[in-house]
Amino acid sequence: NNVQVTVLGLGAMGSALAAALVQAGHPATVWNRSPGKAGELVAQGARAAATVGEAVKAGQVVIACLLDHASVHEVLDPLIDDLAGRTLINVTTTTPAQAREMAAWAAEAGIAYLDGGIMAIPHMIGQPGASILYSGSADVFDEYKPLLDLWATSTYFGEDAGLASLYDLALLSGMYVMWAGFLHGAAMVAPAGVTASQFATMAAPWLTAMTGGFQGLAAVIDGGDYTVEGQQSLEFSSLDDLVAASADQGISTEVIAMVQGLIQRQLDAGHGKEGVARMIESIKHPGH
């Protein structure tokens, strides 16, 4: 495949993306704001552009992997005329609103635009387990999928350019709350002399097994009926013992009390006989 590819941004992630392309034999031009970051890529066959303008003109497809939304505008705004008619794939982390703004900016200028959210760390690029989420132009995704697949498993969510970022941030939300849950448990057993490592040995298989219940919860939510048989009920899900035991251990109850609050709002509204999936109603409707 001899698509001319340009990579803007040779930080930890941009370098990994560029290296995967070069190693697969793509003619690649690379650019970084500060000099001195292209050496290894050039040794592998990439061409280093002296200016970002030169880099953009060399690429049929331009990959942007910069710090944030503002830096992408800072670099690309002056080059809008050179980008017209080319393809821009922006894998810089942004919010959904910023991704939509960038897509509108690109559309106005006649630039084909695909937005990406990277669910991997640099050394995972090109390895099994790496995932990159995309939204924006379906034509760009379809045309360049073989190239994108060199980096990671590529998943496309739709023409709304904000969707990849939305999924990315939703998945990260799940990760952070899960981390807090694991750490809460580790803090609970610590005063009993249990190391975090010993607790992790028990927690990892337990939490992994619990993910097996996600589709069951999802089926109830998507079905729109929280009274269907076979679910754990909200009134059966009292967290009083968990909160009391945490307090007895002298640790913060914030993490577990947060979940208790979500359940309590549904109990207060008279939904105790319904399933735990109903907790999502407390999240969807703040304060109800």
186 is a contact residue toward ligand NDP (CB under 6 A): no
Q: Which residues contact 157 (CB under 8 A, 6 or more apart)?
A: 133, 134, 135, 163, 164, 167
165 is a contact residue toward ligand NDP (CB under 6 A): no
Token code pair at residue 273: 């006989």
Nearest residue to ligand NDP by CB is 11
33 is a contact residue toward ligand NDP (CB under 6 A): yes
Residue 68 or 139 with smaller CB distance to ligand NDP: 68
Out of 9, 136, 162, 275, the residue judged to bind ligand NDP by CB under 6 A = 9
| 252 Rama sector, left if φ>0, alpha if ψ -120 to 50, beta otherwise | beta
* Among the residue ranges 32-40, 98-106, 153-161, 272-280, the one whose residues contact ligand NDP (CB under 6 A): 32-40
Binding string, 106-125, against ligand NDP, x = CB under 6 A?
------------x--xx---
Out of 66, 109, 161, 276, the residue judged to bind ligand NDP by CB under 6 A = 66
Distance (Å, whole) CA 130 – CA 16: 12
CB-neighbour burial class of residue 239 (10 A; exposed 0-12, middle 13-18, buried 19+): middle
Calculate the alpha carbon distances from 169 to 36, 93, 162, 284 in Å. Answer: 33, 10, 11, 16
Residue 11 or 181 with smaller CB distance to ligand NDP: 11
Residue 74 or 222 with smaller CB distance to ligand NDP: 74
Token code pair at residue 274: 């319904």
CB 118 to ligand NDP: min, Å: 4
12 is a contact residue toward ligand NDP (CB under 6 A): yes
Is there a contact between 256 and 184 (Cβ–Cβ < 8 Å)?
yes
29 is a contact residue toward ligand NDP (CB under 6 A): no
Out of 6, 87, 90, 93, the residue judged to bind ligand NDP by CB under 6 A = 93
* Among the residue ranges 9-17, 173-181, 257-265, 270-278, the one whose residues contact ligand NDP (CB under 6 A): 9-17
Interface with ligand NDP (CB under 6 A): 9-14, 32-34, 37, 65-68, 71, 74-75, 92-93, 118, 121-122
